[in-house]
């Protein structure tokens, strides 16, 4: 049995089903999920693992206050981004 962190799985609170650790830093165009430290810290040394693979700057960014914003602010940002992506009807 492999003990590689990438092979470890747990239930994702966003998706509602099991995902391997690797998914958490390769999802959505190779972006790191902002929840990755909260989700995995009890399973193994996720900070060191990410620092080794992606660099210490990535871990610092994940620990920054912006990453720890309340869920409602994150949702509002997603809504704003979706509005900006909407295609305007022709003739306007
Ligand atoms: S880090 Fe993100 S994608 Fe991975 S289990 Fe947690 S919420 Fe799901």
- CA of 8 relative to ligand 1 center, distance in Å: 12
62 CB-near residues (< 8 Å, 6+ apart)? 32, 34, 36, 37, 50
Per the structure block, which two tokens stand in for 1?
């049995």
Is the CB of 66 inside a 6 Å radius of any atom of ligand 1? no
Report the residue among 5, 11, 12 best suited for mutation to probe ligand 1: largest number of ligand atoms under 8 A from its CB. Answer: 12
Contact 21, 42 (CB under 8 A): no
- CA of 51 relative to ligand 1 center, distance in Å: 17
pLDDT one-digit tens code per residue, 4-59: 887 899 999 999 999 999 999 887 677 899 899 999 999 999 999 999 999 999 99
Q: What is the pTM of this model?
A: 0.69
């Amino acid at each position: 049995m492999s003990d590689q962190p990438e092979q470890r799985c747990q239930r994702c609170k966003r998706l509602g089903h099991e995902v391997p650790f690797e998914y958490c830093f390769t999802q959505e165009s190779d972006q790191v999920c902002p929840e990755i430290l909260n989700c995995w810290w009890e399973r193994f040394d996720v900070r060191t693992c990410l620092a080794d693979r992606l660099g210490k700057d990535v871990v610092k960014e994940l620990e920054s206050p912006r990453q720890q914003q309340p869920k409602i602010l994150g949702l509002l940002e997603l809504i704003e981004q979706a509005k900006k992506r909407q295609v305007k009807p022709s003739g306007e």
